[in-house]
Each structure stands twice: as C-alpha cells, then as structure tokens.
Structure 1
Amino acid sequence: MFTGIDEVDWASMRHAYGSAEDVPALLRGLASADSAAREVALDGMYGAVHHQGDVYDSTLACLPFLFRLVQCEEVGDRGEVVGLLVSIGGEAVEGGAVGEGPEETYARARTAVRAGAAAFARLAGDPDPAVRQAAPGAVVRFLDQPARVLDLLAQRISVERNDGVLIALAESLGLFARRHPGHAPRAVDLLAALSGPPAGPGLRLAALGQLAGCAPERLPVDLVSTAVALLRVRSRGPRPHPRAATDTLVGRLRQLRPSDEEGSQLLRTLHGGLGDRVADRIALLEGQLSSPDPTDRCNAVWMASALVHGWRGDFHRPVELIGAQLAEGEGRLRDSAVSVLSGLFGLAAPAAEQLSALVDAHGDLWVRHWERGAPTLGDPLKALARAGDARAVPVLALVLAGPVVPDDLGHVIAPLGRAAAPLAPALRSRLAGVPLDSPELGTRALPLLAALTALEDVRAVPAVLRVLLGTPEEVRSRDALIAAAIRALRAFGTAAAEAAPVLRTLLDTEYAVAAADALWSVQGDADAVRPVLARELANGRSGVRRPAAEALARMGPAARPALPALRHAADSPELWERMSAACALWRVGGEEGLAVPVLRAAWAENPHCRLLIADCLVALGPAGAPLHDLVDGELAAPRRHTASFPGVAGPGGHSEQGAFADEQLLRLLRMCRGARE
C-alpha cells in the first residue's frame, strides 16, 4: 500500500499547519489494526491535510495512497476513506463550495479522483457494507459513463440485502437523475419501485425523499400519511448502532449528530425535496412530533426549527407539539425543544404554557453559569420572555434580586413590552449601585442599560448619566458603556432634557454621531445636531457614516441643509452607506429619483438591507409608492427573506434567528400595505 511513500518529498509540501512531514504517519495510521488509531489518523487528515475542505500539494500527494487503502480489504474503516476521497474530489456537498485556494489545485484534485473512479465501481460490491454504502455516491459523482453507472446501481439494488446500503443506492439514484437528465427516466422508475412494497420502511422513505427532489410528480397523493406510517414502522425496528465516541474532532462531531442519524437524514431529505410545499411539510412535522418514539420527535424538533426559520407559514400546531416535549424530563429531547423555542421569539407563544410550567418547576434553569464569562439566562426563561409572555416577569424579578444580572437579561425585555414595567425600579436600583471602579463594570451595567432602554424608563436618567460621566478611562468596555448610555438617553426623548448639556460636550468626540442623534431626540436642536451629522457623514470613519445618515433620516426636513452630503454618500461604494443615505435623501428632501434605484438595487443585493428599507417605507407612508411592488412581492414570497441567498444562511439552510428578523420585516411591510390601503 505504501510503496514509494518515503520517496515523496513531504518536507517540501504544506498542509493547514505547515510542513507536511507528518503526513506519512497519518496515512499509515489509516491502515492501523487499532480502530482508535485509525480515527485519530482520519481526524488528522481532515484537520490538516484537508482542513475545512482545502486542498494542498500534500493532499494531492496523498491520493494514490488513499486509493490503495480503500482497495485493501484488510484495512478497517475504508468507507470513511472513501468519504475522504469524495470530499477531496470537491463534491462532498452537492453544489457547495470547495474551499479557498488556487482553483488549479482543486481542479487537479477533481481530475485525480475522477481518474480513479473505476475503483469506486469495484467497491460497490465490496464485502464490507460500510464500503458498499460509501461507494455508490462516489461512482455517480466521478465516473463519467452514465449508462454504465445506472446499470451498476440497478444491478446492486437487485442483489443488495443490507438496508443501509440500499438507502445509499436510492440516494445515489436521485443524485444520478439530477445530474443526468437524459438518463433520468429509468432512474426515476427504479426509485418509484423502491418507494412501495415490498421494500422496507427506511428504503421507501429514502426513495420518496429522492422522488420529491427529482420527480415530484411521481409522489403518491397520500405522501404525508404514507411517510408518517413508514416512520412509525421503522421506529419499531432495530436502529443502526452509533460508533463509540473518541477524543478527536471527528469523534466529537459524531457525538453532535442525531442518535438516529440515518432516520434524521431520511426525513431531512424528504423535507428538502418538498421545498415550498410548506403545508405538506407542516403536516409531516406534526406526524413526526407525535411519534411514539422520542428519537423521532427529537429529530423532528430540529427539522421544525429549519422549517420555521426558512419558510413562512402557520406554525402554531408544530410549535405546540415542540412545547409538549418539555414534559419529557431531562435529556436531549427536552434540551433540544427548549433550545429551538428560545430562538423563535414571538412564534414560540403556542408553547408558552409548557415553558412557564418548566420555569416554575426548575429554579435551577433560570440562570446558566459558565466556566468562563458572565452568566446568562437559562434557555427556558429566555424562551418564555422572548415569547412576550408576562409570566416571565416575576421570575426575572427574582433573578434581578440575585448577586449578578445575567449578561443577556436586557435583550429579553423588549419582547415583553410594557408587561416588563414592574422590573424598572429594580433595574434602576441595580444600575445606580454598580461600582464604577469595578473591573466587572461592563458585564454588570450593559445588560441593565439595555433593559432600561427597552423600557424607555425616563426615571433612570440620573443612573444613566452616572455611568456616562463616571466610567473611568481604563475600563476595558468603556466605549460600549458610553454608547449604551447614549442610546438609553435617546430612547428617553424629551424626558431626558437634563442630559442635553452632557450630550453637547460629546459632539466633538468619537461619540459625536450617537450624541447628536440623542440630542435631537432629547431637545430637537437641529442647528446643533445637523452640522455634526453632516460633518461625520462627509469626513467620518467608515463605521460612523451609516449611523450619521440614519440619524439625518430621522430628522426629516429639518436636515435639508445636509442634502449635498447625503447625495455624495448615496454614491458610496459601500452598500450600507449608500442605502442609508438614499433612505435619508427620500425622507429629508423627497428625492425619490436618486433614492429609488439605490434602494431597489440594495433590496436585491443583500436581503439584510430589507429591514432598513421597509422601516424607511413605513416612515414615508404613501410617498413610498415607487417601491410598493417590492412590498407586495415580499409579502407573497413563501421563503424567509434571508433563507434563499448564498452567504447569509447558516449550516441548517437558514440564517440564525431568521424567523425573528423575517417576522419584523413582515410586520413593517404589512404596515406599508395598510397605510396604502
């Protein structure tokens, strides 16, 4: 297997961590008789030689030895090595990126793996089922002979008896049909045959998932009830045994996977294939979340999160069912349900009853303490507060009475609205009592400032000014504290008039934009505020030009003398600067001719811009009509506004807190439509 390995000049090659001198040891480790040693070696290959999908000269030099390894039946874990080869070939994630680096290196890797594709075809009949399971996908990806590939898949299906391998063959048929449309009809016929009896439940689910992705017209009319019934039957049978964990990156990642990874993948594939059939996906989730099997329900909780954050629909019943999992007692299912609910904000309201019961029964879950860093709110209490449920308020009051205010307490006050008003006295008292010379000033004061800002508690002005004026220069979080104090004063508005002289002293400092914005809110002195904002818009740092434009927009016509600076900023090469300036031009001077093209382009270029643009349209009222077609189009779209854009979605196919941001957008857009109608 390793003939010639010592003749390779590994020392002259590189991997993610420098010299590739250690690569021969990693390759030999893959052939070890000890399974733990093999996993350590595989961990090293992914961690250094193929780090985060990258390909180096040492990666290319490994390929001949990796191909020899997978063809030696005495070697264990060859299926994992096949997976490594597929990843190096650049198509481990269909349609995904292949990493960073010179494209020529990746092209050489793809060519080299494709040149060895005949080995994958031989491995499709290997004695080791794990190898047979890994081989079909590799054959489809790298063997450029579609007719031969399809014959091979059909032949293997006719003789294979291992359920896991059959599922891999079905998945490979779907991949084949998408890659080779001219040969797809036969592949689809094979999948349709596998989707019905006498195939087992796992194989049928796999075939249905692939049909959903490549031939939805071949799905049964009773798809949801069929899939739920198959899931029930599968759950009563034996499950694949997970591998023992090892203290490696590969091992730790394996621990994070669902306990029934195969079942999770089957249902995820089906959901993915159904796409915008949101009603069917919700019905399917309801079936999954009602399963007698807790593992199926745990998998469904995370799939529900992906659906809610990625798509728009009526999620009341699935969220209720997620809430029902909170009564399951300690364990992965309850923790998963709590984690998902804490990210749903107002959409978690159907589960509020169960969240409240959990919070009442477990005071130990109110605050989460970390080995390093400040404590945070426990997820059950956080989820209840973010859902806007007033039952969180008395518990938050008890937390406030504790020794340390959790770092994120301020961020759950806003969803509670006026229901959180009873917390204001305790928040003021805590802020007034924080020692300004404490090294923990930032940790202790920032959440309090955020909470008082959300409550717009005008009686907190003295305590806020104390922080603003008294924070020592040497405090590490001084900038954040001053910025938070200024934001609070801005939120208090004219009731904070006593703060105006202090804000004026900040107009020639690095806090000029925030101070001017707050001064406008507190005193409405356009002559004092406008020149500062125009100056910072024209000459300030890149980080202050956008907030300067936004502050001018809030001033409206009072900012008209700043229009020349805004016109210049609307031509900025930086997207957020020109978008903010365009909004201000429209709101301040009614210059829709300049603003509309900029905003329309920004709407399409970056979906995160849409919240700011929608806020601008709400402020404009009927005058925003030239962009109301964007409002109508967005309200009619089934996907969350960030979900379908490359670079803004998370690993689960949706952006973090995607539903929260999207619900904010939808609320603003409905306000636009309401004002128009």
Structure 2
Amino acid sequence: MTADALDGIDDVDWASLGHAYGSAEDVPGVLRDAVGADEELARDAIEHLYGSVYHQGTLYSATPWAVPFVARLAADPGTPRRAHLVNLLGAIAKSEDARPEVLADVRTALARETSRLLPLLDDPDDDVRHLATHLLGHLPRSTAAEVVPALRARQERETSPLVLAGLLAAAVRLSPADSAEWPAGELAPNRPAAASAGALWAIADAGLPWPDAATDAVIRLWLDGEPLKGWIWSHDPFSHIVARLDRASFTRICRALFERGGADAARTAIRTAYQRCVRSRSAREEFAPLLAAGIDHPDVQVRVAAATAVRDVTAAAALAADSLAALVADPRAADDGSPEARLVELAFETLIGLGDPRWHAPLATALTAGRVTSDGLHLLIDIGVPCDPALLAAVRDRLAALPAQWSSERGGYDGLQSRMQWHNEVNALTRLPHHWGPDAADAVPELVRFVPHDEWWAVRAIGAIGPAASAAVPALAQVQDDPTAKWERRLDYAQALSAVTGDVSRLSGLVAEAVAAGETVAAARVALNRGLPLDGIIPALRDIAGTPTSDEHAIMDRIEAAKLLLDADAAGPQDAAVLSAAADALDAGKFAAEVADLTGRLGPAAADLVPGLRAALLPDDRLASHPAALPLRMLTGNHRTFHPVALALRRLTGDTEPLVEAVRLKFPYWGVGPWLVESLRELGADAAPLLPMLRELAHGDDAISLFSGVEGQQVRRDEEQRGQLLAVLAELGH
C-alpha cells in the first residue's frame, strides 16, 4: 500500500519547485526513506521533511505538491511511522507563513484530502487520533460541514481524554458559532478532566462567551496539576485560557490555586500571575502580595518561582524583603547547584536591586564561597555600588581561588557547563575592579594572574586603575610585544600599559607597526580613540576605502575605513573613496544597514545611492508579495536593514513614510533605545503619526514590548523603557 500512496510522485517536476534548502528534487526520495525499512534513514528523512517543506513554520512552493502524497501515506494503516506524517500535515495546515499563492495552494490541497483524512479519527492508535484532531481542526473552514459531524460522531465513542479535548478544540475552531454549546456542556464535574479543560481552552481560544460555571471549573481542574499534559493543541493551556479572562476572574483563579492547591497548582499561580505582571503595569501592585507570599511557601520550587518573579516586580520585592534577608543570612548553608542555592542567589539579587543594606555582609561571605551569580555581580555595577574594603577583599579572595586558565582536560557536557560558569564568573569579577577604577588598586596582584590569558575585563581593569597598577607592567608588556599575538589583543594591552605608565610612545609605535602589517582599520580606531596623530594612517585608510573587492570581510573594512576618514575629518561628503566604498558595498547586497549609516552622514553627495537603498527596504520577494510577514522579519533580523535604511533615506531625501513605518514596526519588538531618540529627532513634526501609539505605551497599562528584555527581567525592562520614553516625549515637546 505504501508504494500505491506514492503513485505519480515521479511525474511531478520537483526540480522546478523549492523548499527551505533549495531545489525540491529530493522530495520523492526523502518520502520513500521516511516510510522505508531502515529506521535510521527514516528518522533522518522525517527530520528533513520538517526542515524543508515545513521549515520553522514557513511553507514553500513544494509544500502543496507534497501534501497529497503525505496525506495518502498518513491515511494508509500499513504505513510505518504514520504519527509523524499526521503531525507534519497538522503543522502545515496550521501555518500561515508563506506567500499568499503558496498558502492558497496548500489549503486547496489539504481540503481535497478531507475525505481521505477523516478515517484517522477511528484509528486504533491513540496518538494518531490525537494528532488527527489537530490536523482536521486546522483544515480550511470550508471543510467544516464535512469535518464537524465526524468529530461529533467520534466524541460519542472516544475513550482517550486528550483526544476528547482535541475533538472539542477542532470543532470549535472550524465552526465556533455552530459548536458553542458543545464545550459548555463539557464543564460538568462528571466529565473527564481533560475534556473539560479542552472545552475551556476552546471557549477562550474562540472568544466565546465565558459560561458562569467556567471560572469554578478552571479552579477545580487545575488544583491537582495540569490536566492536559502532552496536548498537541497547546503547550500551556492554562496560560492560554486565563490570559483571555477579565481581571476579577483571573485574580480569583490564581489566589485559589495558590491557597488551596498543591505545589504544582501554587507554582502555576505564581508563574501565571507573574506573566500578567509582565504584560500589565497595573497588575504589578495587585499581585505583589501573592508573589511575595510565595517566598514563604513550603515547596522549594514554588519559592524559586516566586523569587524569580519578586526579583523583577519591585512592589513584590519590597513586601518580601524580610523573608529574602533571612534567606541570605547564611549563604553557605545550601548545597551548590540546589534549588535552595538558587533561591539564595535570587534573594541577593533582589535585595541589591532594592538597595536593602542587608545584602552587604552576607554577600562578602557568599562571594568568597562562589555563591553569587554573575547577574548579581553585574547588578552591583549597574546600580553603582561603590568599592569598600569588605567587598574588595571578597572579590580578591574569589579571584585568587579561580584558575587563571581553564583546563582543556575537562570534557563533555558537564565540562562545557563548568567552563561557562567559570568564564561568566571571571568576567563579572574582573568587571567590578574596572568599574571601581583606582579604588580597586589592591586587587592588582589578583588581576595580573589573568593578564596572559585575558578574555574578560582584567586588562581593562588594570588600565582603569591607572598608575597604581604598576606591578602589572611586565605582564602587559610581554603580551604587547609578543609578535605571535593577534594585533587586536596587542593593541588592547598597549592601551592599558599606556594608561598605567602615562607613556604613549610605545602605543604610537605599535599603531604604526599594525598599519605596516595591514591592520590599518584596527590601528586607526585605537589612534582616533586615544587622540594619537593620524597623519601616517590616512593614506592607508584611503587606499582601503577606495579599493574594490569581492571579499565580504574586506568590504566591511572598506566601510569602516570610510567611516574613520569621516570621523578624523580627513574626508568630506564628496570624497571619491568614501562614495565608492558605499556604492560597492550596497551593490554587494549584504551590507545595506552598514551602508545606510555611512550614506546618512554623507548627505546629498550620496544621492546616487538612493535607488539601491530603496530596494534594500524589501530585500526578498516574499516580503514584497506578502507585507504581513514584515513584522516577523523585523523580529528575526530585517530590522537591521529596514530601520537604518529608512533613516538614511529620510536624511538624503526628506522622505517621511519609510522611517515612520520602520519605527512603527520595530518599536513593539525592540522598545526604547538610542535608535528611537535619533529617529524622533530626525522626524521632528513629521513624527505626528507615531505619537498616539507612543503616548499610549508611555501612559497606558500595556507593557512597551513583550519581546525586549531577558526573561525574568522584563518588568524592570519595561519600567526602565517607560521612563526613557516619557523623557524622549518630553524632550521633543510631546
């Protein structure tokens, strides 16, 4: 039967079709391997299918042509590994990421297979039936008249709770109005928990009216943990449900789970309340007592979840300060790497962020024992904690205890993890003396140990300490004068040595040597930063900027050389070398963002580059034909091109629309930053179309960006960005 399912596959002109890796001519062979006898080959083939005709959610011209063959194989009971194929079809059916014509062809192909796929609902394999609900529920809604009756018929004899939940979800998705009474009827206490939970999810997902019994049902179903573990429709059904609820229902559910449920329920309540705080500013005060109460929960994992949230939500941190101070009182009591140790680390970070002085004495003990995370150490710098004898002594003790170089003998995953922890700790510990400068002079002996192997802040810390670090001169000079060391490293060490000795002659000589060795761009950057004469470097920079090349690294060097010429006032906007560097880089097709920065500084002299910059705004056919995909591309990389190019066009042509659209698209993902200030200043009065959005984000309840900031630090990030946005609007008179 498997061979029959592939009848006609070789008649398709696969070479004329494409997938994520190029030509789709390999699809017939891959499909045969996926259902063949060789297990290893089949595993690789299935993985290739998921990465080619469906690549991270994106569909291609080959996808609709593959659908009929995959559907025939999936429907054939004799096909091995059918569940993978049903799952693949479901993923394809759910995706909306493709050119409009590809999406239309995929949906047409899937709709044609409806009758063939419906018998999957009666398959003896629970997994196949479960996956089939997801596939059938994501077929085009034009199939609802055929699919929904089959879903209802299967419900009468279905025994698997997860499949029952999937049947509900599929019916409501395909026909929300006609299926609304079905999930409401599944909320009775005598129904299977998974079916009731699936009904709640379907109601929330479709935006159906919230039944009177629904809030109590959520509490009942989740008090004992997750009733939908492993459900194909949602990896986090609870969050999906409660995110759509009004404030009163949401609050009631979270409090009930925390106060009446077990550890899993309490952790769910803390996690979900924190997620609401990330999205909603008003929720932070409201849920602060609940988050703070979690610090004293008997289950350590609940306490860790609460401490993670409390660290980010200042209102909760203030309420939990006494409990947090008790946790750090003896930082050595917890076993290294245990949840209890993580709790102590989070408590330290929270108290430091609060400015609560009870962190100070225990931190010195914890530092010496290696019980302070790199995040905690960086936080000391971020809030400007000054150097004091106790802290400096603890930093010195810990630096002395760490190896100056990692042993390559420690292999495997555990070795990699240990190396990363060591690297992060040394990085943070050496950054502190750099921040403290001359006040950290006593740490020079410990810093010198790291000089020969420095990948962190040790050399820069010595430079920041200055003349008091004279003991480091021999070690710095050894690397500075090492002809086998990389030039960038030698120049870094020479700068530190100059800061310690006050003598710039050796640094000047090394800059000249670097230019002679072909490291002109790096040498010029150092000379410019240090105020050294550039007379002997300018001709070499001009040669680099004006010399055509196809090498990508050399193209970047040309752009950098052109910028350095402008920075050094050694070239004007009409400079031929600078203009040719910009034009050739733009023609290369990969450097639009870098060229945009350069051309924006050149002004009208770069007018000939405007057509190329306009073309760079939409760098591929998919964007040009499917503008709805643009926000996703802004998130995944196109923002590097779109915004700087739009800014350059504004400066060159006065065009407003590209820059306004770039800000509108970039802002929700990247929030406030220097880029926004620069854009608003450039737009001036033409920023008016953006002001309603910016004012709402500055003064409203929604967080500025759900995509910016490190997880677990998003509330603080939002509050920082809100302050910056208010300042920008005030500066510009808005």
Give the TM-score normalised by the residue count of structure 1: 0.62
2:723 to 648, 667, 676: 667
Residue of structure 2 aligned with 1:408, choices 420, 424, 431: 424
Deviation of 1:298 after TM superposition, in Å, equals 5.8
Q: How far has the Cα of 1:43 moved from its partner?
A: 3.5
For 1:515 and 1:581, the matched residues in 2 are separated by 28
Q: Deviation at 1:214? A: 1.9
2:86 maps to 1:82: yes
More displaced 10-residue stretch of structure 1: 667-676 or 157-166: 667-676
- Please say if residues 140 and 176 of structure 1, whose CA atoms lie closer than 8 Å, have aligned partners that are also in contact: yes
Q: Take 1:640 and 1:313, find their aligned partners in 2: how far apart are those partners?
A: 10
Using the alignment, how far apart are the partners of 2:282 and 2:680 within structure 1?
24
Aligned twin of 1:252: none
CA distance in 2, matches of 1:426, 1:545: 48
Aligned residue pairs: how many?
584
Distance of aligned partners of 1:601 and 1:116 in 2 relative to their CA distance in 1, 3 Å threshold: closer
**In 2 relative to 1, CA 158–342 (structure 1 residues): closer, same or farther, beyond 3 Å?**
same
Q: How does 1:398-477 map to 2 (within 5 A)?
A: 398-404=397-403, 406-409=422-425, 424-425=440-441, 428-436=444-452, 441=453, 444-448=454-458, 466=476, 470=480, 472=482, 474-475=484-485
1:510 aligns with 2:521: yes
- 3-state SS of 2:180 partner: helix
**Shift, 1:194, TM fit:** 2.5
Match for 2:34 among 26, 29, 36?
26
| Change beyond 3 A, Cα 1:452–1:430 | same
Q: For residue 66 of structure 1, report the CA deviation from its aligned partner.
A: 5.7
Residue 455 of structure 2 aligns to a residue whose secondary structure is helix
Identity score, percent: 14
**Aligned AA (1:605):** L
Aligned partner (choices 614, 620, 632) of residue 695 of structure 2: 632
Aligned with residue 190 of structure 1, among 182, 189, 193:
182
Partner of 1:141: 138
- Rg larger in 1 or in 2? 2
Equivalent-residue separation in structure 2 for 1:165 and 1:660 (angstroms): 41
**Cα displacement (A) at 1:26:** 3.2
Shift of 1:64: 4.0
Residues 175-219 of structure 1, C-alpha deviation per residue, up to 9 Å, x if partnerless?
A: 224xxxxxx322222223324544344333322222223225x11
Q: 1:233 to 1:21 in 2, by over 3 A?
A: closer
For residue 204 of structure 1, give the secondary structure of its aligned residue in structure 2: helix
TM-aligned CA distance change 1:278 to 1:619, over 3 Å: farther
The answer to whether 1:128 aligns with 2:125 is: yes
- The residue number in structure 2 matching 1:270 is 241
| 1:121 Cα deviation from its structure 2 partner | 1.9
1:420/1:583 CA distance change after superposition, 3 Å: farther
User: Which residue does the alignment assign to 1:114?
Assistant: 111
State the Cα deviation string for residues 29-58 of structure 1 (Å, max 9, x = none): 49xxxxxx5xx6763343123326247969
The answer on whether the counterparts of 1:641 and 1:662 sit within 8 Å (CA) in structure 2 is yes
TM-score by length of 2: 0.58
2:72 is matched by which residue type in structure 1? Answer: F
Q: Secondary structure at the match of 1:219?
A: coil
Distance apart, 1:27 and its partner CA: 0.5
Partner Cα distance (1:475, 1:551) in 2: 32
Amino acid at match of 2:402: P
Give the direction of change, closer, same or farther, for the CA distance of 1:83–1:65 in structure 2 (3 Å limit). closer
Give the partner amino acid of 2:202: Q
1:611 aligns with 2:673: yes
Q: Does the 8 Å contact 1:602/1:609 carry over to 2?
A: no
Going from structure 1 to structure 2, the CA distance change for 1:518 and 1:266 (only over 3 Å counts) comes to same
The RMSD of aligned alpha carbons is 6.4
Counterpart Cα distance in 2 of 1:398 and 1:279: 52
Whether 1:600 aligns to 2:660 is yes
Using the alignment, how far apart are the partners of 1:47 and 1:457 within structure 2?
54
Report matched runs for 1:158-237 at 5 Å. 158-177=156-175, 184-215=176-207, 218-220=209-211, 226-233=217-224
- Whether the aligned pair in 2 keeps the contact of 1:342 and 1:380 (CA below 8 Å) is no
Q: CA deviation at 1:305?
A: 7.3
Q: How much has 1:481 moved relative to structure 2? A: 8.3
Q: Is the 8 A contact 1:309 1:640 kept in 2?
A: yes
Is the 8 Å Cα contact of residues 205 and 227 (structure 1) preserved in structure 2?
Answer: yes
Return closer, same or farther for 1:399/1:322 CA change in 2, 3 Å cut-off: farther
Cα pair distance change 1:21/1:132, threshold 3 Å:
closer
Amino acid at match of 2:697: E
Amino acid at match of 1:131: V
1:484 and 1:594 map into 2 onto residues whose CA distance is: 45
Alignment check: 8 A CA contact 2:392 2:443 kept: no
Deviations 1:218-271 (A, max 9, x none): 115786665233211566x8x86x8xxxxxxxxxxxxxxxxx999953213314
Change (3 A) 1:537 1:411: farther
Q: Return closer, same or farther for 1:328/1:595 CA change in 2, 3 Å cut-off.
A: farther
Equivalent pair of 1:382/1:412 in contact (CA under 8 Å): yes
Alpha-carbon separation, structure 2, partners of 1:176 and 1:547 = 47
Question: C-alpha offsets along residues 545-577 of structure 1, whole Å, 9 cap, x if unaligned?
Answer: 989999999xxxxxxxx7858997997667768
* Unpaired segments ≥5 residues, structure 1: 31-36, 178-183, 243-259, 369-376, 554-561
Report the AA paired with residue 239 of structure 2: R
Unaligned runs of 5+ in 2: 343-368, 405-421, 533-563, 617-638
Provide closer, same or farther for how the CA distance between residues 215 and 281 of structure 1 changes in structure 2, counting only shifts above 3 A.
same
Q: CA deviation at 1:168?
A: 0.8
Give distance in 1, aligned partners of 2:247 and 2:468: 46
Cα distance in 1 for residues equivalent to 2:372 and 2:260: 23
Given the alignment of the two structures, is residue 2 of structure 1 paired with residue 2 of structure 2, yes or no? yes
Q: Aligned equivalents of 1:582 and 1:6: distance in 2?
A: 49
Q: Is the 8 A contact 2:643 2:662 kept in 1?
A: yes
Tell whether the 8 Å contact from 1:583 to 1:599 is kept in structure 2 after alignment. yes
Residues 225 and 265 in structure 2, CA contact (< 8 A), matched pair in contact too = no
Quick one: distance in 2 between partners of 1:468 and 1:568? 50
SS at match of 2:93: coil
Matched residues in 1 for 2:730 and 2:431: separation?
23
Q: Counterpart of 1:124 in 2: which secondary structure? A: helix
Within 1, Cα distance between the matches of 2:462 and 2:598? Answer: 21
Q: 1:126 & 1:346 partners in 2: Cα distance?
A: 53
Q: Where in structure 2 are the equivalents of 1:149-548 lying within 5 Å?
A: 149-177=147-175, 184-215=176-207, 218-220=209-211, 226-233=217-224, 265-271=236-242, 273-274=244-245, 292-296=261-265, 312=281, 314-315=283-284, 316=288, 320=292, 328=299, 353=324, 356=328, 360-362=332-334, 364-365=336-337, 381-385=373-377, 398-404=397-403, 406-409=422-425, 424-425=440-441, 428-436=444-452, 441=453, 444-448=454-458, 466=476, 470=480, 472=482, 474-475=484-485, 479=488, 502=507, 509-511=520-522, 515=526, 518-519=529-530, 531=569
Q: Is the 8 A contact 2:596 2:648 kept in 1?
A: yes
Candidates 50, 55, 67, aligned match of 2:72: 67
CA–CA distance in structure 1, aligned partners of residues 608 and 291 of structure 2? 45
CA contact (8 A) 1:10 1:23 kept: no
Do 2:68 and 2:110's aligned partners in 1 also have CA atoms closer than 8 Å? yes
CA shift for structure 1 position 479 = 3.8
Q: Provide the rounded CA distance (Å) in 1 between the counterparts of 2:685 and 2:429.
A: 34
Q: Is the 8 A contact 2:224 2:265 kept in 1?
A: no
Give the deviation of 1:126 after TM superposition: 3.4
Distance 1:142 1:578 in 2: 35
CA contact (8 A) 2:164 2:194 kept: no
Q: Could you report, residue by residue, the CA deviation over 1:446-485 in whole angstroms, capped at 9, with x for unpaired residues?
A: 24467789xx766789779948982756446x54785799
Alpha-carbon distance, 1:103 to partner: 8.7
- CA gap of 1:155–1:395, structure 2 versus 1, over 3 A, is farther
The code of the aligned residue for 1:600 comes to: V
> What is the Cα deviation at residue 611 of structure 1?
1.0
